[in-house]
Amino acid sequence: MEISEHIYARSNRLILRQFSQQDVDSFFLYRSSPEVAKFQSWENYQYHDAEVFVRKQSKNVPDQPGTWFQFAIALVETNHLIGDCALHTLLNEPRIVEIGFTLAEEYQGKGYASEAVRALLSYAFNSLGKHKVIAFTDVRNEKSIRLLERVGMRREGHLLENYMSKGQWVDEYQYSLLKSEWREN
């Protein structure tokens, strides 16, 4: 296995790295899954969308205020893409970042998402020196809620009809974790 991409974080089974052209097929497969997209902003994901996304992300750098950076979640042993996680550095307060995550359906329920989010939290707090990490999730997304709580994030709010998704207003929970609360486990 050769990993030439920039690696930002690693855990026992995963690396968080830059996207590369080799990821387009795997990325498209899980992004086009209706089950994976259920609580996401996209639907009817097309192959061209995956190509454009990967090309753009392969040139981006993390921690640019006002931007999102997507990390490829890949298996350490094979470098195979199994999902992605995101870091949004807030424009008005760059010491606070928002995170997000998506995992291919066949890799869900095996602890990979928690492992990836913990690696991302470690990167945000230890490498970038962030003060606070926040996350938003659809109140119906029980898997995401359990994951955010499992990694130590605290529910700070219930935002009513906070965003429009697929033609309907959706409630969200806001979660957060302060650097002073972060404990790697």
CATH number for 95: 3.40.630.30
State pLDDT tens for residues 7-21: 999 999 999 999 999
Please say if the pLDDT value at position 143 is more than 90.
yes
Please check whether residue 44 lies inside any domain of the structure: yes
Question: Which range of residues forms the domain containing residue 12?
Answer: 7-133
Quote the pTM value. 0.93
For residues 185 and 123, which has the higher predicted lDDT (pLDDT)? Answer: 123
For residue 4, the model assigns a pLDDT of 47
Please say if the pLDDT value at position 29 is more than 60.
yes
For residue 185, the model assigns a pLDDT of 54
Please check whether residue 143 lies inside any domain of the structure: no
The total domain count for the chain is: 1
Please say if the pLDDT value at position 1 is more than 60.
no
Please check whether residue 153 lies inside any domain of the structure: no
State pLDDT tens for residues 33-81: 989 988 888 888 999 999 999 999 999 999 999 999 999 999 999 999 9
> What is the tally of helices (H) and strands (E) in the chain?
5, 8
Please check whether residue 119 lies inside any domain of the structure: yes
Please check whether residue 183 lies inside any domain of the structure: no
Please, what is the average pLDDT of the chain?
A: 93
CB neighbours (10 Å) of residue 14? 24
For residue 133, the model assigns a pLDDT of 98
Please check whether residue 142 lies inside any domain of the structure: no
Please tell me the distance from the alpha carbon of residue 17 to that of residue 14, in angstroms, as a whole number: 9
For residue 184, the model assigns a pLDDT of 67
Please check whether residue 85 lies inside any domain of the structure: yes
Please check whether residue 168 lies inside any domain of the structure: no
For residue 5, the model assigns a pLDDT of 60
**24, 34, 36, 114, 180 from 141: Cα distances, Å:** 26, 14, 11, 15, 27
How far from each other are the two terminal CA atoms of the chain, in whole angstroms?
Answer: 28
State pLDDT tens for residues 154-164: 999 999 999 89
